[in-house]
DNA sequence: CTAAATGTTAAGCC
DNA sequence: GGGCTTAACATTTA
């Protein structure tokens, strides 16, 4: 479920719970003060990249769905114990499964750099560019997955953005011409919003051009697939269509 | 049935 | 302590 756009969908679904007061809280997450939650209203529901945040008067709850996380709203998941379950005095419940739940003390605006979230109103392309220019040796396949630069971008978005821009995943950030680097920043957000619309229409997969694919849709030759970069994530690319920008000529 | 995958974090080791 | 590697987590799909 979990790249940035999917979290935006969760945020929209959870929005009606803003202002409701927690009646009961439980779950099998460790380190969560479930006893302290009843009586606290949800002040706001927010997201930062892949983080789902519920702001309460005394603390905030942070849910990260990781790779396999899921949620149910106003119902429970069959045969699963929630990591976090909240029910409300006004009715309704939010249940989260197979996820990481943590508390955050203090103001959320101090805890997060909102300008790094590609889905956020506060997104600042200039800030991303600055971070990229500070790391010229980084591979673009790693740069797009760096949550401090492109919070919310995941492996699908990474593969599709690189193909769309015809950039080889093993290009280094510093070798990209300035206009190409600006395009990278722009498309990281642009593609993420298209992802959001496709996801809402249950038509995400049909828009994938290279992710999980075997043939290049532009030139019909076989795509390459390998686990690249620091994180060794699955990468799909076309050796003919995607140019490898390298510092060494 | 087995493997792999939209992801992060903590522990362990130089 | 930094920086890197590895394991751990745990569900669904191919």
Show which positions of strand C are touched by protein (CB under 7 A).
5, 9-12
Percent of chain A with pLDDT over 70: 99
Indicate if the pLDDT at residue A97 is higher than 60: yes
Residue pLDDT, tens place only, A117-156 = 999 999 999 999 999 999 998 999 999 999 999 999 999 9
Residues with CB under 7 A from strand B: A 1-3, 6, 49-50, 64, 66-68, 100, 145, 147, 154-156, 211-212, 227, 231, 233-234
| Distance, CA of A148 to C1' of C1, in Å | 22
Give the closest residue to A162 by CA, choosing from A114, A220, A117, A229. Answer: A229
Residue closest to B4 C1′ by Cα: A234
Question: Measured in angstroms, what separates residue A96's CA from nucleotide C10's C1'?
Answer: 14
Nearest nucleotide to A68 (CA to C1') is: C11
Whole-number distance in Å between A220 CA and B10 C1': 43
Distance, Å, A69 CA → B7 C1': 10
Question: Helix or strand or coil: residue A24?
Answer: strand
For the stretch A147-195, pLDDT in tens is 999 999 999 999 999 999 999 999 999 999 999 999 999 999 999 999 9
- Tell me the residue ranges of DSSP E strands in chain A: 22-26, 44-48, 51-55, 60-64, 70-73, 84-88, 93-97, 100-104, 224-228, 233-237
What number of other Cβ atoms are within 10 A of residue A211's Cβ?
A: 19
The model's pTM: 0.94
Instruction: State chain A's mean pLDDT as an integer.
Output: 92
CA of A89 to C1' of B8 (A): 33
Tokens of A24: 């009961």
Whole-Å CA distances, A57 to A51, A105, A106: 19, 10, 10
Please name the residues in contact with A2: beta carbons below 8 A apart, sequence gap of 6 or more: A50, A64, A65, A66, A67, A69, A154
Q: DSSP of A161-218, one letter per residue?
A: HHHHTTB-TT-BGGGS-HHHHHHHHHHHHHHHHHHHHHHHTT-SGGG-SSTT-SB-TT
């Amino acid at each position: 479920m979990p790249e940035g756009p999917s979290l935006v969908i969760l945020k929209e679904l959870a929005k009606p719970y803003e202002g409701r007061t927690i009646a009961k809280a439980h779950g099998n997450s460790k380190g969560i003060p479930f006893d302290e939650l009843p009586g606290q209203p949800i002040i706001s529901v927010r997201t930062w990249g892949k983080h789902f945040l519920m702001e309460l008067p005394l603390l905030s709850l942070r849910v990260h769905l990781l790779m396999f996380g899921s949620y149910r709203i106003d119902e429970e998941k069959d045969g699963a114990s929630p990591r976090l379950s909240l029910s409300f005095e006004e009715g309704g419940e939010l249940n989260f499964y197979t996820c990481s739940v943590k508390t955050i003390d203090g103001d959320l605006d101090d805890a997060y750099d909102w300008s790094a979230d590609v889905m956020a109103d506060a997104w600042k392309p200039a800030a991303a560019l600055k971070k990229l220019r500070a790391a010229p040796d980084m591979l673009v396949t790693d740069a797009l997955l760096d949550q401090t630069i492109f919070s919310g971008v995941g492996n699908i978005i990474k593969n599709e953005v690189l193909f769309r821009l015809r950039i080889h995943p093993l290009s280094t950030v510093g070798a990209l011409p300035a206009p190409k680097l600006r395009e990278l920043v722009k498309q990281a957000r642009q593609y993420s919003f298209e992802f959001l619309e496709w996801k809402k229409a249950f038509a995400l997969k049909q828009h994938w051009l290279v992710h999980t694919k075997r043939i290049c849709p532009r030139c019909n030759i076989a795509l390459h697939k390998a686990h690249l970069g620091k994180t060794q994530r699955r990468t799909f690319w076309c050796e003919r269509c995607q140019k490898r920008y390298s510092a060494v000529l």
